[in-house]
Chain A
Amino acid sequence: MNEITLIEAVNRALAYELAHDDSMVVMGEDVGVNGGVFRATDGLQARFGRERVFDTPLAETVIAGMSVGMAAQGLRPVAEIQFMGFIYSTIDQILNHASRLRNRTRGRLSCPMVLRAPFGGGIHAPEHHSESTEALFAHIPGLRVVIPSSPSRAYGLLLAAIRDPDPVVFLEPKRIYRLNKQAVEDNGEALPLDSCFVLRPGADLTVVSWGAMIHECQQAAELAAEAGVDIELIDLATIKPLDMETILESVGRTGRCVIVHEAARNCGVGAEIAARLAEEGLMSLMAPVRRVTGYDTVMPLFRLEEHYMPSTARILQAVNETMEYV
């Protein structure tokens, strides 16, 4: 089986579902002939035609709003927002409509749409191209927010997102779009939403993270292992709704938890996890929960971005401090 990158896995999942579900359409800026600025939709228009894979005018509000209209009428729109920095004008449509259409109509209409957007820092991109603002979406009731961290999870989670009966914001960590390859069978098998993935079992400390930061967390876990600290690494994967069961079970065994995210600290998703641990897992904690996050600043332009983003060293330091706490 050939090995593919995360972006190729996204492409493969889109192609699989387009081939198997006539109601699915792919839309967005430059997704047609150009195949998307990151090539997520490469070749899809040639294969599935301009009716089902099409460029929209440059207008994010209508991309999201049109998706709501399509989804309400039984299509499965999968729309690309070119960069997360340009998703904000869609929030009106997501918050006021997509995420509550089912509720407003007592189940009469629903909104099975997916908004995909690349996000996150670390690729020396221009201004507004590097932020991680998943927490904004995690605050919206009725919405799912999903972030893959490997090619196989990109494939399986995107399929799940497309098939899900409710709206999903699917955020793709672009720093790891091409970081490494993995064998991904094109079998159309979805992975479960609303559940974490335990990437590495461990007994001493639980690290919870998602997206590109999983990469640094894995490195930190390996280095910690050399120093005799056995880390359990959990990929959150679905940012909302949270699978606290898996996290509580893990922390129940390890008694220590470090949460790592690239996004700013204040009201980040890490805050929600920490709050839930305080509410439901306090008795099993042997040390305060720590967060390693971006700072509460504007994401700096790229000359300073490496200082903003959590590094393996910063993660290890938090791990060590948490381990040393008595």
Chain B
Amino acid sequence: MAQIAHFDIHYDRFLNEAGEVEQPLPEFAKDTQTLLSLYKNMVYTRVYDQRAIALQRTGQMGTYASILGQEAIGAGVGHAMQRQDILAPSYREGGVQFFRGVKPSELFLYWGGDERGMNFNESRQDFPVAIPIASQACHAVGAAYAMRLRKQPAVVVCMLGDGGTSKGDFYESMNVAGSMQLPVIFVVSNNQWAISVRRTDQSSCDTLAQKAIAGGMPGQQIDGNDVIAVRHYVSSALERARTGDGPSLIEAMTYRLGDHTTADDAKRYRSQEEVDLQHKKEPVGRLRNYLIANNLWNDDKEQALIAKCEEQIETEVEIYLATEVQPAKSMFDHLYATLPKSLQWQRAQLPGEE
């Protein structure tokens, strides 16, 4: 029998779990400012994350999905994207969104039960977070079609989880992206869990990256806790898509260190030993070790950065907490461009001034 097709899936990283260099670093990683910018975003995201959980625990915010352990993906993707690119995120991508100019106060507002949190002040063409898993993959290919039709030099970044790769929305979108060679990339944050379902129970595929092959595009796996690898390979994928060479998929290997959301109790389905082991591979400490080993960072700078992030996030918390509830009538305000006459009586029933 003749072999008519052959596919390989590659895996790569630059920093190992201890933050040691495994192979020559890409050019951008020789620039200290770039590395520090990535590091600061990760620390900022972590401080935001802790504060968000605290807000939920104290009844000041609703259910929240923690980013803990996945900060390198956010930083790497966010830094690699250009301003005019379009983000179609899942609900666990605050780190990317901060690079896009989204404010923690906006995300607090969203998780706090207020639609205005998705009315970003910056990156106004980005999609709101998608709660129905993988639905954003379809929007991403549509947006990519629009970019190409209008000859805009923008690439659409679709982000989703390992669980999301089981949805038809994902397969269908990959297929369209491949068949039309659209300027879109898919980044799968494979954090090993979809609530209580293990990655290995989600699919028998050796990798999720190989799902790209069926969509007619390259797929590869990277260490998603190595921010240098994320930044590097996402940049290459964006460049490829931007120059008309089509879509691709990156499976970023990471681990959800926290509960699925504040409404979840991961102790019901996974062991503390497993989580402890993963803590040793987490991304923030990894880059910090690298920076310290190369005399680019020290304890004083670390303390100062954390203090600054805490102060900035506290300001964001204050903005959030001071945001008054929308008037009840506002639920009609953005239903249609203009509220149909036939609905005006309903709006009038709600309390509040006209």
CB–CB B62/A57 < 8 A = no
- Total chain A interface residues with beta-carbon distance under 8 A: 36
- Contact partner, B195, options A30, A85, A127, A265, Cβ 8 Å: A30
Report if B166 contacts A (CB, 8 A). Answer: yes
* Residue A302 lies at the interface, judged by CB distance under 8 Å to chain B: yes
The secondary structure that dominates the A interface is loop
Give the number of residue pairs across the A-B interface with Cβ within 8 Å. 103
Bound state CA distance, A302 and B111, in angstroms?
9
Contact A295:B346 (CB < 8 A) given known A58-B164, A61-B168, A85-B131: yes
Q: Is the CB of A37 within 8 A of B263?
A: yes
Query: B91 to chain A: which residues have CB within 8 Å?
Result: 126
In angstroms, how far is the closest chain B Cβ from the Cβ of A262?
Answer: 14
> Of all chain A residues, which has the CB nearest B201?
A55
Bound state CA distance, A55 and B201, in angstroms?
A: 8
Query: A37 and B195 in contact (CB under 8 A), knowing A59-B166, A124-B62, A128-B132?
Result: yes
Say whether B325 faces chain A, with CB atoms less than 8 Å apart: yes
0/1 per residue, A83-96, Cβ < 8 Å to B?
A: 00110010000000
- CB–CB A55/B113 < 8 A: no
| Contact (Cβ within 8 A) A307 B328 | yes
Q: List B contacts of A304 (CB < 8 A).
A: 113, 325-326, 328, 330-331
Is B63 interfacial (CB 8 A cutoff)? Answer: yes
Q: Contact check: which of A34, A60, A62, A126 meets B131 at CB < 8 Å?
A: A126
A177 sits at the interface (CB 8 A): no
A255 at the interface (CB under 8 A from B): no
Are B167 and A59 in contact, CB atoms less than 8 angstroms apart?
yes
Q: Which residues on the B side are within 8 Å of A105 (C-beta)?
A: none
What is the 8 Å Cβ interface bit string for chain A, positions 39-66, against chain B (1 contact, 0 not)?
0000000000000000101111110000
B113 in complex: contacting residue of A29, A60, A124, CB < 8 Å? A124
Report Cα–Cα, A151/B269, bound state, in Å: 28
What distance in Å separates the Cβ of A135 from its nearest Cβ neighbour in chain B?
A: 17
Seen from chain B, the residues whose Cβ lies within 8 Å of a Cβ on chain A are 62-63, 91, 110-115, 131-133, 163-164, 166-169, 194-197, 201-203, 263-264, 268-269, 325-326, 328, 330-332, 335, 343, 346-347, 349-351
List 12 A–B pairs whose Cβ atoms lie within 8 Å, in order of A's numbering: A34-B268, A35-B268, A57-B201, A57-B203, A58-B167, A58-B194, A60-B167, A124-B62, A297-B331, A298-B331, A301-B113, A301-B115
Residues of A within 8 A of B (CB): 29-30, 32-35, 37, 55, 57-62, 85-86, 89, 124-129, 265, 295-298, 300-305, 307-308
Instruction: Kindly list the 6 A-B residue pairs having the minimum CB-CB distance in the complex, ordered from nearest.
Output: A302-B113, A34-B196, A57-B166, A58-B163, A307-B328, A303-B113
Given A57-B163, A304-B113, A308-B331, 7 more contacts at CB 8 Å?
Answer: A33-B268, A37-B195, A55-B196, A58-B133, A85-B131, A126-B63, A304-B330
